[in-house]
Structure 1
Amino acid sequence: MKAKTVLPAVAMTAVSMVLTLAVVVMWLGRTVPWPVALVVGLGIDGGWLATLAYERRLAAQGDHSNGVTAVGWSFGVIAAGVLVAHALTADGSATAWLAVSWLPIAAKALWLVHGLWERTALTPTALDAIRGIQQEARDEAAVARARLRAEAATEATRLEAVTGAGARVARVTAKTAKTLAGAWSTLEAARAGEETGRALTSVTACVTPGVTPHWELPVWGPLEPVVVPALEGPVLTDDALDSLVDDIRHSEDPALSYREMSSRFRAAGHSASEVRLRAAWKRVV
């Protein structure tokens, strides 16, 4: 990289010095002896070369002098001025000399670029370390992107599975609810029908003559269990138990069912086993 910046500056400086010397000899050679013109040209080139060498020495030491830099630019401006003056006074080649009159200024600019490069140049070891750090950062970024993409794909798959399962459950629930609604609708229609009790009575009349059964179809809805406190009392005889069952059964019109009679029997504080209570119910009915 150093050769890429220093070689153009060296080449352009050499060309500028040769052109300056040639122009001074041709321009002043018509009015003064050519040795004098040669000395003047070499003086301009020598001063330019000396200041350039001193600038390079200071740059190698890490120093900088504004005065030396100003002197170097002055020699560059003088060389460019000589080329411009010769181009303006030449007879037929003014355009050609003007085309190369910018070379001294360009040479100084290239040396400035080279100096800036030297102040910011790094060693191969540092450059390798920087490249390693950059590569490590790129690797970490690539791994992080891959991890994020994998997590996103996994989450999308999980959501699709959960959504599909939820949809299936919803379809099954809706189908079940529809079936239950139809069944309970049919049952409610049968329960509310005027002919339901008459039809059931006609079926059971031949089995239980003289007894009017009380039919109750199940009701769709939550049922609260009846909590009956366990009360201790005297043991009832069969006659007393039959009398209590008959009184409770006919406490309302129409007569109560066994379930209602049993609930009221125990809520009243009476005590009897389920077997004896059912046997009393059968005897009463």
Structure 2
Amino acid sequence: MRAKTVLPAVAMTAVSMVLTLAVVVMWLGTAVPWPVAVVVGLGIDGGWLATLAYERRLAAQGDHNAAVTAVGWSFGILAAGVLVAHALTVDHSAGAWLAVAWLPVAAKALWLVHGLWERTALTPVALDAIRGIQQEARDEAAVARARLRAEAATEETRLTAVTEAGARIARVQARTAQTLSAAWSTLETARAGEETGRALTSVTARVTPGVTPRWELPVWGPTEPVGSRSLDAAPALTDDALDVIVDEIRTSETPALSYREMATRFRAAGHSASEVRLRAAWKRVAA
């Protein structure tokens, strides 16, 4: 990866230096001796190469010097200016020289890109660790997505089953209610019929002669509970007997019991009387 950024910068720098030297020699060769022109060209290229080497050294140490960078860019701009000036002064091939005049500046830009790459480059070990972390995250995300899809499918299946079961129960209940309604309608029709009692009486007349039974079929509708009654319930107390019992319970302790205590003992003894009669008896004996 390092070669992908440094090789283009080295190649463009070399081409720029060669072009700068050739242009300086051709441009100044007519005015000064060619060795002087060569020295001037080598001076420009040498200064550019020296500042570039110093910048690379500082970059290798993790350092940076703004003055050195400014000097390096100055040499690059000077080389580009020489190429542009030569292109403007020649009578032929001016467009070709202008087309390559940007190479020194481009070479400096490529070295800048290479420096940025070096400051952000990671070792193979770090890159492997990052790839491992990313792969682990992708694996966990895929597993989580699969788990969510499975849970969603399971929940959908469960809801479908519950809904279908509820629908079946509702259909059975509807059919049962319809059957019961028809049955009770039939019973109601039979009960309300004029000939029902007469038919049933004619059937049972031979079994129970002299008895006219009362036939009543069940009625479809709400019912009321019937309270249970004891078969051997004691007869209701007369007022005099009730007064005697109330007086005995009331005066069984000194001081006399209150009405509430007397009523509690009255019912605990097994006696029966309505609240109205019991309170009336209390008033009579207490008076």
Same fold (TM over 0.5): yes
> Mean alpha-carbon deviation: is it higher for 211-220 or for 33-42?
211-220
Ranges in structure 2 where 5+ consecutive residues have no aligned partner: 236-271, 273-287
Output the CA distance in 2 between the equivalents of 1:144 and 1:22.
Answer: 66
CA distances 1:174-226 after superposition (whole Å, capped 9, x unpaired): 11111111111111111222332223223323333332211111122454443
What residue is the counterpart of 2:227 in the other structure?
A: 227
2:86 maps to 86
Q: Match of 2:210, SS?
A: coil
Deviation at 1:6, TM superposition (A): 0.5
What is the CA–CA distance in structure 2 between the aligned matches of 1:227 and 1:180, rounded to whole Å? Answer: 28
What is the alpha-carbon distance in structure 1 between the residues aligned to residue 198 and residue 165 of structure 2? 49
Q: Deviations over 1:83-137 (max 9, x none)?
A: 0110111111101101100100000000000000011111111111100000000
The alpha carbon displacement at 1:59 in A equals 0.6
AA at the equivalent of 2:119: R
Residue of structure 2 in register with 1:133 after alignment: 133
Moved more, 58-67 or 199-208: 199-208
| Closer, same or farther: CA 220–234 of 1 in aligned 2, 3 Å | same
Change (3 A) 1:211 1:13: same
TM-score normalized by the length of structure 1: 0.79
Matches within 5 A, 1:206-221: 206-221=206-221
**Aligned partners of 1:163 and 1:181: how far apart in 2?**
26
SS state at 1:214 partner = coil
Does residue 57 in structure 1 map to residue 53 in structure 2? no
Cα distance in 1 for residues equivalent to 2:55 and 2:190: 116
2:13 — aligned with what?
13
CA distance in 1 between partners of 2:140 and 2:116 (Å): 34
Bigger mean CA offset, 90-99 vs 193-202: 193-202
| Secondary structure class of the residue paired with 2:194 | coil
Moved over 6 A (4+): none
- What TM-score, normalized to structure 2? 0.78
Structure-2 separation of matches of 1:111 and 1:161: 69
C-alpha separation in 1, matches of 2:66 and 2:156: 67
Letter of the structure 2 residue corresponding to residue 194 of structure 1: E
Aligned length: 236
Residue 3 of structure 2 is matched in structure 1 by: 3
Code of the residue aligned with 2:145 in structure 1: it is R
Aligned residue in 1 for 2:238: none
> Whole-Å Cα distance in 1 between the matches of residues 161 and 56 of structure 2?
73
In structure 1, stretches of 5+ residues that fail to align are 236-268, 270-285
Q: Counterpart in 2 of 1:74? A: 74
Distance 2:19 2:91 in 1: 18
Alpha-carbon shift at residue 171 of structure 1 (Å) = 1.5
The match for 1:119 is 119
Map 1:234-249; keep pairs closer than 5 Å. none
For 1:206 and 1:80, the matched residues in 2 are separated by: 140
Q: How many angstroms apart in 2 are the aligned matches of 1:166 and 1:10?
A: 80
CA distance in 2, matches of 1:75, 1:17: 11
